Amino acid sequence: MHWLNVVAIVMMIGSGLQIYDASPLFGFVVPPLFTIGGWLGAGIAWHLAFMWLLLANGLAYLLWGFFSGHFRRKLLPVSPGAVLRDIAAALRFKLPHRQGVYNAVQRLLYIGVIFAGVVIVISGLGIWKPVQLWFFTDLCGGYFIARYVHFFAMASIAAFVVIHILLVLMVPKVLPPMITGGKILDTQP
């Protein structure tokens, strides 16, 4: 699910930026290098196609996470004190990594990006079908505000990805098990 999500997120952000360029919300457009589709129509087609992957994969992950106890076991508890303590330890490069146990910063970031994922899907559906799915459009404050909500949810996910990849580069041994599903034998920090 994690790696399907990476494919979906890359395609959604690239095609979303293509759509953004056709009617920019802010005073800038995105260079073609970072967009997918080449023109508005193709951008929309990619965006709606990969939306189904993001939605199906995301729903499966949420259902599994809740009902298997994964979220309760791995992402909770998380307190402001623990987050501050772990940030301070990370800045001094003294934050140990135990396999299968997320530190407080990871927990906060993962909960945050899951929340941003829910917001981006709800606001996206609200923009796509404001008549049929009006309750999603209304939940976001109307069509116009929903566009901003959608953009800022995308920006939060993009910021998460940058920090997430930097953290993985700092502790590269966590990557192979995430690909193979196997265990790390070395449990030293």
Task: List residues binding ligand HEM (CB under 6 A).
Answer: 2, 5-6, 9, 74, 102, 110, 113, 157, 161, 164-165, 168, 174-175, 178
Nearer Cβ to ligand HEM (137/150): 150
Tell me the closest approach of the beta carbon of residue 54 to ligand HEM, in angstroms. 9
Nearer Cβ to ligand HEM (5/83): 5
Nearer Cβ to ligand HEM (43/117): 117
List phi, psi (to 5°) of 139.
-60, -30
Nearer Cβ to ligand HEM (131/169): 169
Tell me the closest approach of the beta carbon of residue 138 to ligand HEM, in angstroms. 26
Tell me the closest approach of the beta carbon of residue 10 to ligand HEM, in angstroms. 8
* 47 to 69, 108, 128, 169, 173: CA distances (angstroms): 32, 28, 11, 29, 33
Nearer Cβ to ligand HEM (2/92): 2
Tell me the closest approach of the beta carbon of residue 125 to ligand HEM, in angstroms. 18
Assign 3-class secondary structure to the chain: CHHHHHHHHHHHHHHHHHHHHHCCCCCCCCCHHHCCCCCHHHHHHHHHHHHHHHHHHHHHHHHHHHHCCHHHHHHCCCCHHHHHHHHHHHHCCCCCCCCCCCCHHHHHHHHHHHHHHHHHHHHHHHHHCCCCCHHHHHHCCCHHHHHHHHHHHHHHHHHHHHHHHHHHHHCHHHHHHHHHCCCCCCCCC
Nearer Cβ to ligand HEM (82/161): 161
Tell me the closest approach of the beta carbon of residue 74 to ligand HEM, in angstroms. 5
Tell me the closest approach of the beta carbon of residue 65 to ligand HEM, in angstroms. 6
